[in-house]
Each structure stands twice: as structure tokens, then as C-alpha cells.
Amino acid sequence: MRFALILFAFAMGTSANNGHPDTWPVVKYNGPLYKMTPEMLRERTMNESWEIPKDMPLINVELGTHLVLGATGNSSLEKRWGLHSIEAFPGLGCVENPIITAANFGCGTGCITFSTQAQSGRVSQQYVGNPYPTMDVWAGEYCFGLRLQHLGVVGLDSCTDVNVGFQSFIGYHNCW
């Protein structure tokens, strides 16, 4: 059995922060991040079992939380590439309020996991360009097992339905 670093990002209040994301608590994560490599990205194909690297952090996020990765304020990532964000939604079509959001990710990343299934995900970027932010999703917690889908962005944001639902994801940008 492999040892994994598990970090918890808990928001103040209840686990059902159902209000608008603008009212959610912000959790700034300054812990270790895993550097994705081009080889690793090419290795991962959908519907094929994938083992999370042993030194990739597992970030357990409470519902109704806005997670900021690499939270150092006005980061060089934001200055170079603009803001990137990921939202996970309880239903199809990204129409309801999201259940969690994550921002400020680059090639350094972690597996973000939460306690309920999401049915759709939105990936957003401040500026249109290539490379673009990406989100890979897994059905269960801790990015374990089969990678279900690879969600990208067209224009400034894109919503993708994941019919079987997902409970964890990895967001990354500019790993080439």
C-alpha cells in the first residue's frame, strides 16, 4: 500500500455552503504541488487505470469552498497567463451553483477530491490562448482508477457533462 500525503482544506461553517460562490469561504492552499510532465500527460488515457504518483498531494475540499492553489496573492502565474478556474456542478449543463471551485493552478497541481458526485465541470481562462487549462476527472475520490474524461476549454470557458459523475479531478495548465 502506498503512502499518500493527504491535506484537508476545510471552510468555516457547515458542509452545505449552498449560497452563491461569491459568498463562499476562500481556502488558500500553500502546500506542496506536483509537477506534471509531458510524458505523464501522454501516458494517461481515458478509461484506463491510472495510479496517482505517490508524491502528488491529495487535497480534500469541503463542499461550498473556493480553493486557491499556490496562494501567494498576486502570483507570477496570474501575471503571465491570467486567471484559470475550475467549477464542479451537481447537475448536468453547469446551470446550478457549483459545489466547489478551484483557481490559480498551473503545471504544479494536486488531486482535488470532495464528498459528493458532480455531473458537469466548467474550465475557464481569463485570456484565450494555447496552452489552455485542462481538467481530468475520476469517478471516485483521490483520482483513483479510471480517468473518465479530459475537459478542456474553447474560448474563455467550456462546460462538459460527465454523465456517470465524478468525485475528484486534477487541473493543470502549461505543462509542455
Domains, the chain, ranges and CATH? 6-13+23-172 (2.60.120)
**pLDDT (tens digit, 9 = 90+) per residue, 62-81?**
999 888 876 554 444 444 45
The DSSP annotation for 24-49 comes to SPEEEE-S--EE--HHHHHH--TTSE
Q: How confident is the model at residue 126 (pLDDT cuts 50, 70, 90)?
A: confident
What's the rounded Cα separation, in Å, for the pair 94 and 9? 23
- What is d(CA 133, CA 91) in angstroms, rounded to the nearest whole number? 22
pLDDT at 45 over 70: no
**What distance in Å separates the CA atoms of residue 15 and residue 30, rounded to the nearest whole number?**
22
For the residues 19-43, what does the mean pLDDT come to? 71
- Residue type at position 40: M
Residue type, 110: G
Residue 3 is classified by DSSP as: -
CB 168 within 8 A of CB 114: yes
